[in-house]
Each structure stands twice: as C-alpha cells, then as structure tokens.
A and B are shown apart, each in its own frame.
Chain A
Amino acid sequence: MHGIIFELDGKLTDLTGVWVHLQSPAGKDWRDFKVMVQAGRAPEVFDPSGMRDWGVPWPDFIWSQIHELGTFIVEAYFDAMQECMGQCRSPFRWVIATIDTVVENDGIELRGKALPFSPRQY
C-alpha cells in the first residue's frame, strides 16, 4: 500500500488526473472528496522540508499553509501524493475546488469538493 487513499463520492478513485484549482464550486457539478494520508506519509506529502514546528498539530500547519499560499501549496500536496502512488496529475480529469476540513486521526484526512475538469472554465 502507498498509504494514501482518495475517494470521490465515497468511491475509491486513483489520483491520476487530479489537478488543484481552488474555487467556489457553487452551481457546479461538484462531488465530495476525501483523501487520507497515513501518518507515516504525512511529512513526505505535507512538509518535505521539515518546516512544521514540533507540537504544532498537522491540521493547524496545513491550514496555515493553505491560507498563506492557496492553490500553490494544495497543488504541491496532491503532486506529492501522486508521486507517492506512482501516478501523475495529467491529463486532467478532476479538479480539487475546496478544502473544507483537515483532520488528524490515524493519519491526515482532507475533505472538500471536487469538480469534473472542464477545460472551458480556464
């Protein structure tokens, strides 16, 4: 196992073709997504450079990065996940539109909304 699970509408999906472009999904054909990164994989995905201070919970660290850097860092997270799984982000099929919750349990779980990739939108 790669220690990363990605689900769309509760169905296990691979990460190939997942792109990130944070946006409001209002009025669009959005789906719920969940991605679970096992604890052992968290540094590799969310903090390869070891910037997180000890004692700072992963969700706080991740949220602070998202609020400061936006799409740029979420794209990096998903790129790292795809690399861990030997998958790639293109050709685009799905777009991560929002990150709604970040929770730490046995691993790090991100939930949000995803949209089918529609080239016309860009």
Chain B
Amino acid sequence: MRSKAAQLLFSAVFLLLAFSASAHLTPPALPDLSGHGPATLPVAVDLAESAMLAAIGDRDTDEVDPDIVQVIVLVFSDEPERGYVGFSGQNQYGPIWILYEGKLPLGLYELEVIDGKLSARHKNQSTWTDISLLHGMGYDLSSIQTVLEHWEGTHSDFNDLTVAAMEARFAPINRALFASVESDPRFVPGDSEGIAWLRQRLDDRKALTMLHPERGRRAYGALTRHVTGSAGVMAVTGTGTGYDVSPQAAYMRLCVPAVSHRRLHALRPAARPGGSARNVGGITSAQARTLRRLLAEVPGVLRVRAFGSRTNGTWGEHSDLDIILIGKVTPSDPTVQAKVAAAQSYALSIGIPLKVGQYRPLDIHVFASESEVRSSFLNSPDFDPSAGVPGLVPLE
C-alpha cells in the first residue's frame, strides 16, 4: 500500500513540477514525506483519490484529479462517540479538503484502503473502521459548477492569483485557525504532537487545509479544472445551513479558495448577540441545549439535528423549528410520545410558535440515518442540485 503510494506520489510530485512550470505558478515547496513525521499519517495518492471519489460519487476517475500529493486527516468531535473526519489534500492547483461524518472519536487518524474500503484507524489504536459510507456529501459536479460561476463573479481574480498571493491572502487566518484548534479542549491531548507536525507541514506548504467541526460539515471539494477548464481554483461548497457569522465561517468564506453554496450567502448579516444559539435562530444557547436534551431523551434517538429556516438564516418570527431525530424511534410508544410532547411544550414556552394555529412548534421527523435523509432528497424527481440537500446541524 505504502510503496504504491510512494510511487504514485513520485509521479504526482513530478506532475506538480511540470504543471507549475507550465502554468507559471510559483512552485510550492514539496512536502517532506519521508517517515511521515512524528505522527503516523500516511500520505497516499490513491487514498486521496478514493476520498474524492467517495465524496463526489461514483464517477469516472478521469473526473478526479489524481495528482494529489498530500493527504491529512483530522477528526473533530463535540460528542464522545462521534466525529467528523476531514481529509485535506494538496495538489498543484491548491488544496482540497473533504469532510466525512461518522462515529469516530476525536483524534488523528491513519487512512488505508482495506478490502476496497476507505478505513481509518486512530493513531493510538489498532482497530480499523470502515468509513467509506460515512460521507455526508450530496452534490455533484454540476452543482459545483453552478456555485463556481456565482463565486467567480465576485472573486474573479482567483484564477490569476499565484500561490504566493494566495498564501499572502490566507496564511494569517490559517495560522489563527490553527491556534484556535490547538487550544480546543476537544482535541485529544496526545495528538498535540501530530497537530504540530501537521502545522509544520502546512506552514511549509502554506496550504489552506484546516477544517472545523460543524462549520465545515458537509463541505466538500473537487477540482474545478474539469468543470471550468481553468486551473488554480478549488471549488468547495458547503450547505451553509448552521453557519453564522463566526471566525470559522469567515474563514470558509474568505480564506479557502473556494466557492460557497448559495445557502451560505443567506447568512444573517450581523452576528447574533451573546448567548444566542449557534445554529438555531431565535433562541438562546441555553434553550437550544435544553431542547436538545429533551429530544435526546426520546427513546431510540441517537442524534438530534435541526434544519430549515431557523438554521439557514431565513427564519421569521412565525417560523417553527424543523427537527430530525436520527435513530430507531417508535412513535407509537407512549414513552416516546410523552418525551416528544414535553419537547413540544418546551419549544412553545420559549417562543417558537405554533404553525398555522394548530400544529406544534417543532416539526419532528425521524430517520434511521443522515444518509437516509440525503437519499430521500437526492432521489426525488424534483431534486435540484444547486439547492442541495438540507443541512443538518446540531441543536446548539
């Protein structure tokens, strides 16, 4: 696996140099890949390609640029048994990054393709976890093209930026984000070594590859050469739902050479006052926590997620709150109904209104998994790629 990766890497480096020369880009420093540094982070072209393929669906490999020279994975989590796996990579056109959602504890992970499946292993553990089905992507290249065209209208200079110019524009914020991530208590302390290694690598490359939990959820990237015919632009699109005007959102909007999904532009224009819920409009963070606790008490619920207008900045005073309970819930169970009724009553008490005078303030749906939500939308005959699927955000 690794020898193959090394061969591919050599090819990729060669292509990197060749392309950089032909495109008159400033050749970025090549990463030092020997020994993979103190952290056990493998570097594998085929892994990156697998991740890309998994992210954008089953497509011809011709649509995925194989010249990826660096792959790094970080896992973030705000819940003990849950994490967001981020794959970040770098090729001659700029960074790539992909997020996966799955049940993995926090930490730095090693990646391998095992039995044809993308698998992850915490650097301190011996067990591999199949993460090939954990991706949370719901777009295709045509939607990327749509948002890219929108984005290029407002950031038209990006194609002309040299690597150095991109570095100058984004490196300070990249560093700041790293500092914030390092101080994040959610990181496993033992991973500080790996983080330092990663930062050094990114400093060397001056790559823009930092990810953030929740803020970056369901974001994904794909090289745009195939959709635009131009190099130097990296398309990243996220749902935007759940974003607010935060440093992380600003980072995504301003720093990643990327395009943002149109929902990202529906952000509320001003930061919410202190104490407001991060992902849900119109309630406080304490209220969001209480509501999440009440809903999490519903038997069978694994995760509580919000979506809809109150999470994407388009809500009004008459808006209800759309909830998805992920798990195996039996709605006819009297205990389940009592818990749901309690949550409904609480929602009403904090000012989330009844809908059209009779329905409850929470529109609660039950799905077995996030992927079921996505497939229900994606497979709809009226699915609109440019609108994507609803962003599911934690109730916080």
Contacts and interface: CB of A to CB of B under 8 A. Distances in A.
Interface of A: 17, 19-24, 47-49, 51, 65-73, 75-76, 79, 89-93, 98, 116-120, 122
Contacts of B365: 20-21, 71-72, 75
Contacts of A116: 382
A90 B379 contact: yes
Contacts, number: 109
A79 to B, nearest CB: 8
Consensus secondary structure, chain B interface:
mixed
Given A51-B332, A122-B307, A91 B360 contact: no
Interface size class, chain B: 35 or more
Contacts of B363: 21-23, 70-71
Interface of B: 307-308, 322, 331-334, 337, 340-341, 344, 355-356, 358-360, 362-366, 372, 375-384, 387, 389-390
B375 A91 contact: yes
A8 to B, nearest CB: 15
Nearest to B362: A70
A47 B337 contact: no
B366 A72 contact: yes
A69 B382 contact: no
Contacts of B381: 91, 93
B383 A72 contact: no
B366 A75 contact: yes
Nearest to A50: B332
Given A118-B382, A119-B382, A71 B360 contact: yes
Contacts of B387: 119-120
A64 to B, nearest CB: 11
Contacts of B359: 22-23, 66, 70-71
A116 B307 CA distance: 20
B360 A89 contact: no
A47 B362 contact: no
Contacts of B372: 90
Contacts of A70: 344, 355, 359-360, 362-364
Contacts of B380: 17, 90-93, 117, 119
B375 A69 contact: no
